[in-house]
Structure 1
Amino acid sequence: MNTDENLQLAFQNNSLSHETLLSLYQELLKPRRIEEKMLILLRQGKISKWFSGIGQEAIAVGVTMALETDEYILPMHRNLGVFTTRKVPLHRLFSQWQGKANGFTKGRDRSFHFGTQDYKIVGMISHLGPQLGVADGIALAHKLRHEKKITAVFTGEGGTSEGDFHEALNVASVWDLPVLFCIENNGYGLSTPTSEQYRCAHLADRAKGYGMESHIIDGNNIVEVYQALSKIAESMRENPRPVLVEFKTFRMRGHEEASGVKYVPEELMQFWAEKDPVSNFEKYLIHQGILTEAQKLEINETIQNEIEYALSLVNEEAAIEANLDNELNDVFAPSDHLEVKPDGALQRVRFIDAIQNSLKQSFERNARIILMGQDIAEYGGVFKITEGFVEHFGKERIRNTPICESAIVETAMGLAINGYKAVVEMQFADFVSSGFNPIVNYLAKSFYRWGQPADVVIRMPCGAGVGAGPFHSQTNEAWFTHTAGLKVIYPAFPYDAKGLLAAAIEDQNPVLFFEHKALYRTITEEIPAAYYTLPLGKASVVREGSNITLITYGAPVHWALEVLNANTTWSVELIDLRSLIPLDYETIKTSVQKTGKVLLLTEDVNFGSITADISAYIAEECFTYLDAPIKRLSSLDTPIPFAQDLENQYLAKQKIAQALQDLLAY
């Protein structure tokens, strides 16, 4: 490739103007020069880590230049060219990498783990896979608005082994989403070669399994990348569909600088060094008379001056000072909706009807809400909550999904990024484990990291008492109450279920909304027929008392009521938490100060349940008011059994009366 003849063959340009070619050169050169500077700063200890894209710049630059500036790109951690081509100010990038306030994450995350709506860039998280499904959601939003826009998302050859890759491609294919899936095949996943990553000849071949178009492109040839991607992108805008592109390339540095490249054979390094995308394109332009030596020096000088000026600004910027209020207040996005008071005629409904009614009224009020889940469309969901919704709201808004919880949660996040509200129905709360990663690592941390609200509600049919066994009976709220950034709501009555679900949908934050299956058709209540909301984070005093505070939520509220109704002389104050995160500490504290004795009741297993944290809070904040040890009552620390006698033994329901008697007698 070092001969003039080979250069002419390598860069076959049939239509690009000299101006465009020079622009490609400048955009290609800038990330290279920045990287060279960052490697120096890394050795000087002025940045803590660096993921090099040297040798791969043509892909990021070519893809970005082929897209319109208002089309979203979801890059990886070595796609610096995406950010520079989108004209993200260098001083802000440098501040980001040094953890300073003028960056994009207020020092809370490093490297390229951030997004910016100003430049339509959505950064990745270290788990790699979730961004693929997020791209599906962004593209779905464009399609719902009938916009001729595409979304580009990057992954590496290693990332294609993750389940998220399969799920995201499958969803995009089934829904004809205009997503450009870009695989940078650089030969190694950290140190693991492709021979140990996959068995197909080319990763592009995987597209056949999804009925998807695919292409293989020389990722080191900026002209080929730009021309091919420009043509593909324009075709996708006119005919919305997903396309998979495999870029053959190589990274000339380690996975990150500490890794080194000792695992790469020297002859392979030499082979790819000769295919360097920057130096070869530069030689081609000079050979063609498009770039002069004077222009080359001027372009380099301009870039170097820009880099040095940006660094001087960052060097003058003070280090971030820790501020406790700022950190705590940025966990959740502000909720600016107004509470809608209950009003008008009452109607007696079941718990399940209250959920259905709340969903329907929310959908009528807000055309931006999209509901996704398995079998929720014509079938109406396994519990028939969404029966009739397709006829009323249409299949674009009521969307059956493939069985892929992870990708659908990610799609919901993408919808939120691109202007929609997503409600996801987990067929059973147990199945959320298949979508756990994007919930706890993407949705929960998005606003805290870069100010992007994860405007998503995940409905969680849960709970035992219906003989459904280990995989359809869990009440797994504690998985999520441990994760900062998630709100967790768990109503016990139709009135609360309707108002809290409406409020959850109005809230900008990710909300896990637990609906106990055993209550769906057994609990009825008179509630307002009209739309209303209830504030999240407020407990309900179901019954006042003076001798014991019984704190619980979900189905155990009704277990407790059965016991108290059978023992009317006991003066027990029954608190239904309703909201687990945020938790109503004030109501808990006020009641404990009044009664002096506490029974904490949950359907969850004992170890690690939320009642452990509430118990610790009461011990720390109300110790001087206690007249007895705090009592916790929960299910057995076993999986949930199927047979009725075993399930009855598992649950704490039969132990409530004795526990209250013991506390009263203490």
Structure 2
Amino acid sequence: MSTETTQKIHFDYKRGDIKEETLLHLYKSMLKPRMIEEKMLILLRQGKISKWFSGIGQEAISVGITTVLDKEEYILPMHRNLAVFTTREIPLYRLFSQWQGKANGFTKGRDRSFHFGTQEFNIVGMISHLGPQFGVADGIGLANKLKGNNQVCAVFTGEGGTSEGDIHEALNVASVWQLPVLFCIENNGYGLSTPTDEQYNCENLADRGKGYGMESHIIEGNNILEVYSKVKSLVEDMRINPRPVLLEFKTFRMRGHEEASGTKYVPQDLMDEWEQKDPLINFENFLISENLITEIFIDELKAEIKVEIDANLDLAFNEDVIKANLTTELDDVFQNHIYQEFNPNKDTEELRLIDAISQGLKQAMRRHENSVIMGQDIAEYGGVFKITEGFLEEFGKERVRNTPICESAIVSAAMGLSIAGYKAIMEMQFSDFATSGFNPIVNYLAKSHYRWNQNADVVIRMPCGAGVGAGPFHSQTNEAWFTHTPGLKVVYPAFPYDAKGLIASAVEDPNPVMYFEHKALYRSIRQEVPTDYYTIKIGKAAILKEGNDITIITYGAGVHWALETLENNTHISADLIDLRTLAPLDTDAIYTSVKKTGRVIILQEDAMFGGLASDISAMISENCFEQLDAPIKRVASLNTPVPFAANLEEQYLSRGRFETSLLELLEY
């Protein structure tokens, strides 16, 4: 390094009362990820790693924030935050193994790059969909507030990610609930190749804080002392006065979005300007000017880090290629859960389906003091169907939380609560509205345990179904969307007894459960139900009737349509299977019955194509073909949206076509 170079300092470094050891720590913490990245770029060109998202030029942000936070405080980084991982002192060989898809990484070869988290180091892995990270941080912030532990968490995104709806939802929730979350925007000029003037039409992203009623600041992201000092001051105050803070860090991305994309779209004069603002070189020059380090010190430190990098690379390269194991892959989709049966008591009372769900949910929340329920209008109002009526008075406003209309952010917040050790229950006001929270359900809740061994202890209640004149947007029974997604359990009771036992089991289960509640059954079905807490095993069907002529397989409202049909045709000897749980599916009960009767009809309320009946039919065909005496018959609703007018809705539903189809199949 020349003397001329060392004199060029482009920032006003205000040391204040920062100790020398802290200054050196900040420098070393920036130098290590820079050297790792430079090595990774070489390995990328050599074909020894497959992809790289570079954070060169942005190290000061990650280092400053991570240094300020205690190791017990969660950080939710993105793919340009290598310095978060290294400053948290994750062993380098584990990072290198992660990037090569080997077993000593964090995802068992199932994901790459920085798409992972680790409870050991209190880091929460990102997903490529970016936006849900802010909502997950809300959940962690809520957990910290409920625990009263005076902790904050920090979450990262780029300026490009701020255009996603999840970001807006999460910022609004954080402000309404005053959650101690540091929302960090690394504004590095480009979202892949799209410059900021094509991404948003305001001068500074921090200005958006005013719209959320949230404190916000702009920080020079390449000035490590400004980052460290301002964040330190904010965090210390947030621990005492919990609140969200929005930070916009001005910085620049000196490499491509990922290396393959290059930087040809960036004007050269802009690259030259930001090269002069390199956070590492400028701080290095400052420390030299303050006589805190020398060129000899720098050379020795680089040599030391190089040895560490090379030694850990050797460990990772010499590690065996991960071996595919079918059992392990399948078993890791869900967290292992040993079902604990709570037997029902003998005292019973007649309850409607809606009352049984409410009672079961209330007893589950009494049993699990770490449970929180969230949803629109569920507190004082008791929910639009009144299932949570009285919950606020018993459990208080901290555990029974009205939410803004923002399904996606609340699903993500439920994930954050789970990460922080809570059981989260969410009421999706109507199952139709799951579309607004679909991304975090299928990409975050469902995949987290498989990816990095983080369970999602979340129950999403889903009022669903037609027959009540609610029209296209409040009548869907959309269970097939979720049975198609590995990692989700799907429960769909038809009776009060089952509904109460299964909601308890759903809350007990540490995995994500989609719990469907048919609105037309809420107040129309009554049954004697045990008064105390009990569970029913998820994945176990109920055999409601036994016979020899035919097997009827159904669930939800279809169960009652089938019972009505059998009552009107007493000569039919049928096995009637109420699935109760759609994922996992009780295939043993299905196959045993079909092999006995030789005929099978599958009834669903959902539209035909792509529904659950199609998969059950295929499974029976593949496993019971030789025992079949007739074609498999499916009965489903029309392939149209659900209409509003009563006569149109009745025509839509499969209910009116079931009896004819059943009789035809028996005559085959």
Tell me, yes or no, whether TM beats 0.5.
yes
- Please tell me the residue identity of whatever aligns with 2:87: T
Task: Please tell me the residue identity of whatever aligns with 1:455.
Answer: D
Decide whether the 8 Å contact of 1:158 with 1:197 is kept in 2.
Answer: yes
Distance 1:469 1:546 in 2: 39
2:486 is aligned to 484
Q: Distance in 2 between matches of 1:167 and 1:466?
A: 31
The one of 129, 142, 146 equivalent to 1:140 is 142
1:445 paired residue number = 447
**Number of the residue aligned with 1:250:** 252
Is 1:597 paired with 2:574? no
Aligned with 2:531 (options 526, 529, 532): 529
1:623 aligns with 2:625: yes
Residue aligning to 2:181: 179
**Cα 1:661–1:325 shift into 2, 3 Å:** same
- For 2:342 and 2:431, the matched residues in 1 are separated by 29
2:380 matched to which residue of 1?
378
Structure 1 residues without counterparts, runs of 5 or longer: none
Letter in 1 for 2:424: A
Tell me whether 278-287 or 90-99 shows the greater mean CA deviation: 278-287
**Further displaced range: 5-14 or 647-656:** 5-14
Decide which of 555, 558, 562 is 1:556's aligned counterpart.
558
Partner residue, 1:339: 341
Native 8 Å contact 1:377 1:390 kept in 2: yes
Change (3 A) 1:438 1:2: farther
Q: How far did 1:6 drift?
A: 6.6
TM-score under structure 1 length normalisation: 0.99
Q: Which residue of the partner structure matches residue 35 of structure 2?
A: 33
Q: State the Cα RMSD in Å.
A: 1.1
User: Matches of residues 487-636 of structure 1 in structure 2 within 5 Å?
Assistant: 487-636=489-638
2:390 is matched with which residue: 388, 391, 400?
388
Tell me which residue corresponds to 1:167: 169
| Compared CA separation, residues 618 and 9, structure 1 to 2 (3 A) | closer
Q: Aligned residue for 1:280? A: 282
Deviation at residue 336 of structure 1 after TM alignment: 2.6
Cα displacement (A) at 1:566: 1.0
Question: What is the CA–CA distance in structure 2 between the aligned matches of 1:389 and 1:316, rounded to whole Å?
Answer: 57
Match of 2:74 in 1: 72
| Residue aligning to 1:60 | 62
Q: Distance in 1 between matches of 2:358 and 2:125?
A: 36
**Counterpart in 2 of 1:22?**
24
Query: Separation in 2 of the partners of 1:558 and 1:2?
Result: 85
TM-score (norm 2): 0.99
Which residue identity lines up with residue 660 of structure 1 in the other structure?
A: L
Equivalent residue for 1:190, pick from 189, 192, 205: 192
The superposition leaves residues 296-352 of structure 1 with CA deviations (integer Å, 9 ceiling, x where unpaired) of 112111111110110111111000011100100101111134111112301111000
Residues 1:51 and 2:57 aligned together: no
Q: Deviations over 1:474-497 (max 9, x none)?
A: 000011010000000000000100
Q: How far apart, CA to CA, are the structure 2 residues paired with 1:375 and 1:588?
A: 40
Contact 2:8/2:285 (8 A) holds in 1: no
Give the direction of change, closer, same or farther, for the CA distance of 1:584–1:9 in structure 2 (3 Å limit): closer
Query: CA shift at 1:3, angstroms?
Result: 7.8
Task: Name the structure 2 match of 1:127.
Answer: 129
Counterpart of 1:471 in structure 2 is 473
Give the deviation of 1:5 after TM superposition: 7.5
Note the alpha carbon deviations across 1:148-191, whole angstroms, 9 max, x for none. 00010000000000001100100000000000000000000000
Match of 1:303 among 305, 315, 320: 305
Alignment correspondent of 1:412? 414
How many residue pairs end up in the alignment? 666
Question: 2:154 aligns to what?
Answer: 152
CA distance in 2, matches of 1:121, 1:7: 33
Give identity over the alignment, percent: 67
Query: How far apart are 1:469 and its partner, in Å?
Result: 0.2
**2:663 — aligned with what?**
661
Secondary structure at the aligned position of 1:633 is classed as strand
- Residue 400 of structure 1 corresponds to 402
Output the amino acid matched with 2:320.
A
Distance 2:125 2:278 in 1: 26
The CA deviation at 1:655 is: 1.1
The answer to whether the 8 A contact 2:11-2:282 is kept is no
Does structure 1 retain, via aligned residues, the 8 Å contact 2:565–2:659? yes
Q: 1:293 aligns with which of 292, 295, 305?
A: 295
Asked if the contact 1:185–1:246 (Cα under 8 Å) also holds between the matched residues in 2, the reply is yes
Alignment partners' CA distance in 2, 1:632 and 1:660: 10
Displacement of 1:9:
5.5
Deviations 1:189-239 (A, max 9, x none): 000000000011000000000110011011001111011110011011110
- Which residue is equivalent to 1:98? 100
Give the gaps of 5 or more residues in structure 2: none
1:113 aligned to 2:109?
no
Shift of 1:657: 1.2
Tell me if structure 2 keeps the 8 A contact 1:61–1:85: yes
Q: What's the CA shift for 1:62?
A: 0.5
Preserved CA contact (<8 Å) 1:428 1:460: yes
**What do residues 612-661 of structure 1 show as CA deviations (whole Å, max 9, x unaligned)?**
00000000000000000000000000000000000000001111111111
Question: For residue 530 of structure 2, what is the amino acid of its counterpart?
Answer: P
* Structure 2 CA distance for aligned equivalents of residues 50 and 6 of structure 1: 30
Structure-1 separation of matches of 2:376 and 2:68: 36
SS of 2:447 mapped into structure 1: helix
Q: CA deviation at 1:8?
A: 8.3
**3-state SS of paired residue (1:289):** coil
Farther off after superposition, 6-15 or 584-593: 6-15
For 1:431, give the aligned amino acid: F
CA contact (8 A) 2:152 2:238 kept: yes
Judge conservation of contact 1:11–1:223 (CA < 8 Å) in 2: yes
Output the CA distance in 1 between the equivalents of 2:10 and 2:108: 47
Aligned to 1:219: 221
- Residue 13 of structure 1 and its aligned partner are, at CA, apart by 1.1
Trace 1:633-648 onto structure 2 (pairs within 5 A): 633-648=635-650
1:64–1:82 contact (8 Å) kept in structure 2: yes
* 1:331–1:448 Cα contact (<8 Å) kept: yes
The AA in structure 2 aligned to 1:665 is E
For the residues of structure 1 that align with 2:359 and 2:302, how far apart are their CA atoms? 64
- How far residue 66 of structure 1 moved from its aligned partner, in angstroms, is 1.0
Whole-Å separation in 2 of the counterparts to 1:186 and 1:542: 62
CA shift, 1:133, in A, is 0.2
* Cα offset, 1:570, TM superposition: 0.6
The 2-side partners of 1:656 and 1:163 are apart by 42
Q: Deviations over 1:342-380 (max 9, x none)?
A: 123011110001000001100111100000000000000
User: Residue 364 of structure 1: which of 356, 363, 366 is its match?
Assistant: 366
Distance in 1 (alpha carbons) for counterparts of 2:39 and 2:111: 21
Contact 1:2 1:274 in 2 (8 A): no
> Structure 2: how far apart are the matches of 1:309 and 1:136?
39
Change (3 A) 1:60 1:379: same
Quote the offset at 1:46 in angstroms. 1.0
Cα shift at 1:7: 2.8
Counterpart Cα distance in 2 of 1:22 and 1:349: 68
Q: CA deviation at 1:602?
A: 0.1
CA distance in 2, matches of 1:353, 1:164: 34
Can you list the C-alpha shifts for 1:267-302, whole angstroms capped at 9, x where unaligned? 000000000011111111111100012211121111
Query: Counterpart of 1:247 in structure 2: which amino acid?
Result: F
